[in-house]
Amino acid sequence: MRTVGLFDVPYSRDMSPRVAALLAAGGGTRFDGPTHKLLALLHGRPVWEHSFAHALAAGFDHVIVITGAAPLAISRDASLPPHVELRHNDDWRAGQATSLHVAVRAADELGADTVTVGLADQPFVTTDAWRSVADAPADCRIAIATYDGVPGPNPVRLHRSVWPHLPLEGDEGARGLLRLHPEWVCRVPCIGSLDTVADIDTTEDLHRWKSC
């Protein structure tokens, strides 16, 4: 794996649209609160809205929200920005990989060469992390965020050349490709630590962050 710089990264930007995909479809079965974990309140608003706000602020041409189990409090009739689109994953029970395929299909339809993916249950992944990974050099087939030098779970940018290699079902998403093809991977240093970008999976996770 090679590392690219955090701020001034020389690269040649292609002319395809910059697309972000926020995966918000899973069942959240480890969360035993009264609502789906994405709808649980954190600092005054639902968990997923924090993640969405960071992606929205990163300057993408299109932001795709992949919905599924949770009834997110937005609808196709809502006054969303014109570059935001909802895509429902009818097969969300078959795992995160199915949501990833919905995301890459949307990116393909939009004419994008890459899609930058993040998870709605990671509300502290920053706007800078979204932007830095999206702006990795154009020749990176897979660009991943690192925090304090350690590869983080998200965001990850996937070039269309790797889309056919993604799993069709299960919860692994793109992680298998990182193991099988490290030569495809570029590391993008991002501000923060693994602790601050962790998933909210349980009520204990939520209470810990509420106390911060």
Model confidence over 195-205: pLDDT tens digits? 778 788 888 88
Cα–Cα separations (whole angstroms), residue 10 to 3, 20, 112, 128, 139: 13, 21, 21, 17, 11
pTM of the predicted structure, to 2 decimals: 0.88
Give residue-wise pLDDT tens across range 138-180. Answer: 889 999 999 988 988 789 999 999 999 998 888 877 888 888 9
**Please, what are the domains in the chain?**
2-9+18-210 (3.90.550.10)
Give the Cα separation of 161 and 152 in Å (integer).
Answer: 22
Residue in the structure block whose two tokens are 């709605």: 120
